[in-house]
Amino acid sequence: MQVLLRRLRSELFATPADGALSVALITLLSLGAFGFLRWALTQAQWAVVKVNSTLFAVGRYPIEQQWRLWLLTALLVAASGATWGLLRAHPRPDRTGVLWPSNDRLALALLALIALAVPFALGLTLAIQSRWWGLLLLLALCRWLAGRYGANLSPTGRRLAALVWPLLYLGGMALISGGLGLVGVPPSEWGGLLLTLLASSFAILLCFPIGVLLALGRRSELPLLRWGSVLYIEFIRGAPLITLLFLGQNILGFLLPGGLAPERVWRAAWVLTFFAAAYLAEAVRSGLAAVPRGQLEAARSLGLSYPKALQHVVLPQALRVALPAMVGQFISLLQDTTLLSLIGLLELLGTARTVMANPAFLGRNGEVYLTLAVLFWGCCAALGLGSRALERRLDPHAVPSAT
Amino acid sequence: MSQPSSELMIEARAVEKWYPNGFQALRGASLTVRRGEVVVIMGPSGSGKSTFIRTFNALEDFQKGSITVDGIVLSNDLRNIDAIRREVGMVFQQFNLFPHLSVLDNLTLAPVLVRKRPKAEVEKQARALLERVGIAEQAGKYPGQLSGGQQQRVAIARALCMEPRILLFDEPTSALDPEMVREVLEVMQDLAADDITMVVVTHEVKFARHVAHRVVLMADGEVVEEAEPEVFFTNPSHERTRRFLDQIL
Ligand SMILES: Nc1ncnc2c1ncn2[C@@H]1O[C@H](COP(=O)(O)OP(=O)(O)OP(=O)(O)O)[C@@H](O)[C@H]1O
Ligand SMILES: [Mg+2]
């Protein structure tokens, strides 16, 4: 206690001016927090969120088909837990790693809190609440199993294990949209968080290779390739996304090979992809510029072909440098999906607007927007945390540490 | 010191090179290197030493003259270039180790990818090479965690792991602190005793005197003087060489 007081004193009240500033800031902050809490607890009526929670989550996805989404969520949770555990079981060769660092325990505790509190607060039925607990248990179980037994996995085994993710993505797409003997659920019935995540993950995954190719094209020695890339990047970056979205709805059906973009949702997802690729290309270009010339020369002098030198020497370094900028790009891409509501798609914001237009929930905009903000914040925080962990793992200069 | 055979490993004739900006860096440079020979190239800064040896493994192109390396005529044919690069290793002034790979992976990358050799076998060889250059215990570290001298020794081991017949060195000790220069030169001297052919751009007079079979002076994009070390340092035949030696000795 004494120590705490002394520390508070030295950090907040070192000089009279510091003290005054601290007092002013503390007052402002507590006023803000107090006002917010008073609104959230007394004024706000959270029924609008409780009643519409399914709508926010998946839009008008048919109820009798929603087991598919639960199944997919369970698979994703299992894969996440297993990956998490495997990563801990295989620390980098030059570092030591503990199986259960304190950060991991904290993360699991936080997730447990969320899995218990949020479904309860939303007033979901006990059956649904218990599903969330089940998911939490599944995560912990996979994390524990993979951590416990994952160390025995050979490098080939690990590489195969990584393949789970692309398979899961493709399988997930099939689960969501139907096919393979399942009833089809057309994209027009997807909505809410589901649509937001689908559109953004689709765009993030595809804009990455396109962006890398564009960045390489921009540095190429072939004039046609170079000018083509420059033209594309500058054209896309010069136009507001919303105009491109409208443009895409009108002309993408002609531009892409038949069948690739039959639906408005897919057309919009492609536009997002092409848009993000141009920005990503610039991030990758700055990463490429940061790799010294000598790296390519050393690789070439060892006999590596140009593509191999790029793949094994230049790109890994360039992408590591570009990673923070790229993730920033992904985060703004995630937020840009809200523009889809302007072309009439019912992603999170679109769903929110239909809810707020319902006379039963008139004037409940604050609650709805706050929910949206928290959801987006959660997704972006996850992206940011993931990227920082990746950065640390890839950083060849980082001091050995437990994380 | 092993004696070079009469087999020609590098034969460069009247090589002329212009950089894209129009600057002529090589003005008819010629050099022949026999198998097992250690040739040291000296010369003032900007005389084209780096440019010249970089044409030997096609890191730089040239416009006039001809170069034959290990019987392969250097041309713009891509297959040709790949074949030559497999036979010629290079060690750079700035080491140019791959910072994102462990020391061991730096060594095994090319043999596995280019020579398609089994990883386990290459790793064994790589460890032996690291042992030879005196840093076996650093195999799992990353280049950024090593000293300059250690990095350069890794770079030498990396080049050796491809089992080249020719090794090119471009000022391998110029970026090193004085106390690390010796450890690298010792490794190079150890190599010179082998059958491998070495072309070394360096200003280390002691190395040139005791290890080289021949010392070459380059000036203004040409080879000016070519002589055995004793002759080169004590009784050069060209005025240009004498002036250069006055500056560095
Ligand atoms: N990429 C380039 N474009 C244009 N000129 C160049 C380029 N690289 C080198 N030069 C010029 O060519 C000449 C020879 O350069 P080179 O690097 O071969 O010299 P060097 O003898 O190795 O010198 P140093 O001892 O400084 O390394 C120099 O005058 C240099 O300025
Ligand atoms: Mg040089």
Give the contacts of B23 (CB within 8 A, at least 6 positions apart).
none
Alpha-carbon distance B148 to nearest alpha carbon in chain A (angstroms) = 15
Q: What is the pLDDT of residues B145-162, one digit of tens each?
A: 999 999 999 999 999 999
**Which band of pLDDT confidence, cut at 50, 70 and 90, is reported for residue A212?**
very high
Question: Is pLDDT of A403 > 50?
Answer: no
Ligand 1 neighbourhood includes B22 CB (under 6 angstroms): no
Average per-residue pLDDT for chain B: 92
Distances (CA, A) of A360 to A49, A222, A364, A367, B187: 12, 62, 9, 14, 83
Q: How far apart are CA A131 and CA B244, in angstroms?
A: 83
Q: How far apart are CA B186 and CA B179, in angstroms?
A: 12
Q: What is the pLDDT of residues B180-201, one digit of tens each?
A: 999 999 999 999 988 899 999 9
Q: What is the pLDDT of residues A85-122, one digit of tens each?
A: 998 888 876 677 788 888 889 999 999 999 999 999 88
Residue located via tokens 């090179």: B17
Domain locations along chain B: 8-93+167-248
Interface A-B: count of C-beta contacts within 8 A: 75
Domain for residue A261, yes or no? Answer: yes
Alpha-carbon distance B114 to nearest alpha carbon in chain A (angstroms) = 6
Q: How far apart are CA A381 and CA A377, in angstroms?
A: 6
Give me the domain span that covers residue A71: 62-184
Residue located nearest, by CA, to atom 1 of ligand 1: B19
A360 and A300 belong to one structural domain: yes
**Which band of pLDDT confidence, cut at 50, 70 and 90, is reported for residue A10?**
confident
β pairing state of B72-73 and B197-201: unpaired
Q: Could you give the residue ranges of the DSSP H alpha helices within A178-292?
A: 192-218, 223-238, 241-255, 264-289
Alpha-carbon distance B63 to nearest alpha carbon in chain A (angstroms) = 19
Beta bridge partners of B3: none
Q: How far apart are CA B168 and CA B197, in angstroms?
A: 9
Question: Is pLDDT of A141 > 80?
Answer: yes
Question: Is pLDDT of B228 > 80?
Answer: yes
A30 and A123 belong to one structural domain: no
Q: Which residue of B has its CA nearest to A391?
A: B100
* Chain centre distance of CA A278: 19
Question: Is pLDDT of A281 > 70?
Answer: yes
Residue located nearest, by CA, to atom 30 of ligand 1: B46
Mean pLDDT confidence for A1-11? 81
Domain for residue A360, yes or no? Answer: yes
* Chain centre distance of CA A201: 7
Q: What is the pLDDT of residues A265-280, one digit of tens each?
A: 888 999 999 999 999 9
More confident residue, A160 or A12: A160
A195 and A147 belong to one structural domain: no
Q: What is the pLDDT of residues B2-23, one digit of tens each?
A: 677 788 999 999 999 999 999 9
Ligand 1 neighbourhood includes B174 CB (under 6 angstroms): no
Domain for residue A391, yes or no? Answer: no
In what helix (H) or strand (E) does residue B54 lie, and over which residues does it extend? Answer: helix B49-56
β pairing state of B72-73 and B64-69: antiparallel
Q: Which residue of A has its CA nearest to B146?
A: A397
Percent of residues, chain B, with pLDDT higher than 70: 97
Domain for residue A214, yes or no? Answer: yes
Q: How far apart are CA A385 and CA A110, in angstroms?
A: 14
Q: How far apart are CA B47 and CA B216, in angstroms?
A: 12
Percent of residues, chain A, with pLDDT higher than 70: 95
Q: Running DSSP on this structure, what letter comes out for residue B89?
A: E
The pair of three-digit structure tokens given for residue A359, joined into one six-digit string: 């006379």
More confident residue, B89 or A49: B89
A108 and A37 belong to one structural domain: no
Residue located nearest, by CA, to atom 28 of ligand 1: B46
Ligand 1 neighbourhood includes B51 CB (under 6 angstroms): yes
Beta bridge partners of B12: B31, B67
Question: Is pLDDT of B1 > 60?
Answer: no
Nearest by CB: A298 against B86, B92, B144? B92
Q: What is the pLDDT of residues A323-337, one digit of tens each?
A: 999 999 999 999 999
pLDDT at A397: 65
Q: Running DSSP on this structure, what letter comes out for residue B204?
A: -
Cβ–Cβ contact B102 with A under 8 A: yes
Specify burial of residue B65 (Cβ count, 10 A radius: 0-12, 13-18, 19+). Answer: middle
The pair of three-digit structure tokens given for residue A285, joined into one six-digit string: 């270009």
The pair of three-digit structure tokens given for residue A172, joined into one six-digit string: 């997930």
Q: How far apart are CA A173 and CA B159, in angstroms?
A: 47
In what helix (H) or strand (E) does residue A294 lie, and over which residues does it extend? Answer: helix A293-301
A109 and A242 belong to one structural domain: no
Average per-residue pLDDT for chain A: 89
pLDDT at A402: 35
Q: How far apart are CA A390 and CA A92, in angstroms?
A: 12
3-state secondary structure of B173: coil
Nearest Cα to A199, choosing from A80, A338, A385? A338
> Cβ contacts (< 8 Å) between B76 and chain A: which residues?
none
Q: Which residue of B has its CA nearest to A306?
A: B82
Domain for residue A250, yes or no? Answer: yes
A144 and A202 belong to one structural domain: no
Q: How far apart are CA B69 and CA B12, in angstroms?
A: 8
Domain for residue A333, yes or no? Answer: yes
Q: What is the ipTM of this complex?
A: 0.92
Give the contacts of B209 (CB within 8 A, at least 6 positions apart).
B229, B230, B233
Alpha-carbon distance A294 to nearest alpha carbon in chain B (angstroms) = 6
A208 and A330 belong to one structural domain: yes
Q: How far apart are CA B162 and CA B12, in angstroms?
A: 23
- Quick one: which atom of ligand 1 is closest to the CA of B49? 21
- Give the class (CATH, top level) of B8-93+167-248: alpha beta
Q: Are A344 and A264 in contact (CB under 8 A)?
A: yes
Q: How far apart are CA A351 and CA A348, in angstroms?
A: 5
Domain for residue A257, yes or no? Answer: yes
Q: Could you give the residue ranges of the DSSP H alpha helices within B57-201?
A: 78-87, 103-113, 119-132, 148-161, 178-192
Instruction: Mark yes or no for CB contact A312/B109 under 8 Å.
Output: yes
Specify burial of residue A134 (Cβ count, 10 A radius: 0-12, 13-18, 19+). Answer: middle
Please count the structural domains in chain A: 3
Domain for residue A395, yes or no? Answer: no
A235 and A171 belong to one structural domain: no
A160 and A191 belong to one structural domain: no
pLDDT at A400: 45
Percent of residues, chain A, with pLDDT higher than 90: 54
Q: What is the pLDDT of residues A343-398, one digit of tens each?
A: 888 888 999 999 989 888 888 888 899 999 999 999 999 999 888 888 888 876 65
- Quick one: which atom of ligand 1 is closest to the CA of B45? 25
CATH number for the domain harbouring residue A252:
1.10.3720.10
Residue located via tokens 């969320």: A114
Residue B43 alpha carbon to ligand 2 centre in Å? 10
